[in-house]
Chain A
Amino acid sequence: MFLRIAIKSLLNRKGSVIMSLLAISVAIFVLLGIEHIRQQARDSFASTVSGVDLVVGAKTGSLNLLLYSVFRVGAPTDNISWEAYKEIAEGKDVAWAIPLSLGDSHNGYRVLGTTPDYFQHFSFGNKRILEFVEGEAFEGVFDVVLGAEVARTLGYSLGDEITLAHGTVSTSFSLHENSPFTVVGILSPTGTPVDQTVHVQLQGIEAMHAGSESGFGGPAMYNQGQLEVDEIEPKSITAFMLGLKSRMVTFRLQREINGYSAEPLMAILPGVALSELWQMVGVFESVLRLISMLVLVAAVLGLGAVLLASVRERSHEIHLLRVLGAPSYYLFLLMELEALLICLAGMILGTACLYLCIVALGDALFSNFGLHLDAGVLTQDGVVILLFVLAAALTAAAVPSIRVYSQAKAYNSQ
Chain B
Amino acid sequence: MMIELNGVSVTQPNAPELSILDIENWSVDYRQTVFVHGPSGSGKSTLLNLVSGLLECREGSISVLGERLDQMSRRRRDRFRANHIGYVFQRFNLVSYLNAIENIELARSFSERGDRKTSADTIRPLLESLNVASREWLKPISQLSMGQQQRVAIARALVNRPELLVADEPTSSLDQDNRDTFLSVLMSIIEEHKMTLLFVSHDMGLAGHFTQVQALNDINRVV
Give the B-binding residues of A (Cβ under 8 A). Answer: 1-2, 4-5, 8-9, 11-12, 316-317, 319-328, 411-414
Contacts and interface: CB of A to CB of B under 8 A. Distances in A.
A103 B6 CA distance: 102
Contacts of A325: 78-79, 81-83, 110-111
Contacts of B96: 12, 317
Interface string B48-68: 010010111000000000000
A4 B99 CA distance: 12
Contact of A319 (B79, B92, B94): B92
Contact of A8 (B13, B81, B82, B97): B97
B49 A411 contact: yes
B55 A323 contact: no
A413 B79 contact: no
Nearest to A322: B54
B82 A324 contact: yes
A412 B55 contact: yes
B52 A5 contact: no
30 contacts: A1-B105, A4-B102, A5-B95, A8-B97, A8-B98, A8-B102, A11-B97, A12-B97, A316-B92, A319-B92, A320-B95, A321-B95, A322-B54, A323-B81, A323-B89, A324-B107, A324-B110, A325-B78, A325-B82, A325-B83, A325-B110, A325-B111, A327-B75, A327-B78, A328-B74, A412-B54, A412-B55, A412-B74, A413-B55, A414-B55
Nearest to B168: A323
B35 interface: no
Given A320-B92, A320-B94, A1 B109 contact: yes
Contacts of A9: 97
Interface residues of B, number: 29
Contact of B106 (A11, A12, A324): A324
A2 B109 CA distance: 9
Interface in B110-149: 110-111
Contacts of B97: 8-9, 11-12
Given A323-B89, A413-B56, 15 more contacts: A5-B106, A317-B92, A317-B95, A317-B96, A320-B93, A320-B94, A320-B95, A322-B78, A323-B52, A323-B54, A324-B110, A325-B83, A328-B74, A411-B54, A412-B56
A325 B98 CA distance: 18
A412 B52 CA distance: 11
Nearest to A11: B97
A4 to B, nearest CB: 7
Secondary structure call for the A interface: helix
Instruction: Return the 8 tightest CB-CB contacts between A and B, nearest first.
Output: A325-B82, A12-B97, A325-B110, A316-B92, A1-B109, A413-B13, A323-B87, A325-B81
Nearest to A410: B13
Interface centre among A5, A319, A323, A413 (most CB of B within 10 A): A323
A322 B53 CA distance: 11
Contacts of B56: 412-413
A325 B160 CA distance: 12
B63 to A, nearest CB: 18
Contacts of B75: 327
A130 to B, nearest CB: 63
Contacts of A12: 96-97
Contacts of B54: 322-323, 411-412
A5 B78 contact: no
Contacts of B94: 320
Interface in B147-206: none
Contacts of A322: 54, 78
A8 to B, nearest CB: 5
Contacts of B55: 411-414
Nearest to B153: A320
Nearest to A316: B92
A25 to B, nearest CB: 24
Nearest to B48: A323
Contacts of A11: 97
Contacts of A323: 52, 54, 81, 87, 89
B174 to A, nearest CB: 18
Interface centre among A8, A9, A11, A322 (most CB of B within 10 A): A8
Contacts of A414: 13, 49, 55
Contacts of A328: 74
Nearest to B140: A12
A323 B45 CA distance: 13
Interface centre among B49, B74, B107 (most CB of A within 10 A): B107
B51 to A, nearest CB: 12
A315 to B, nearest CB: 9
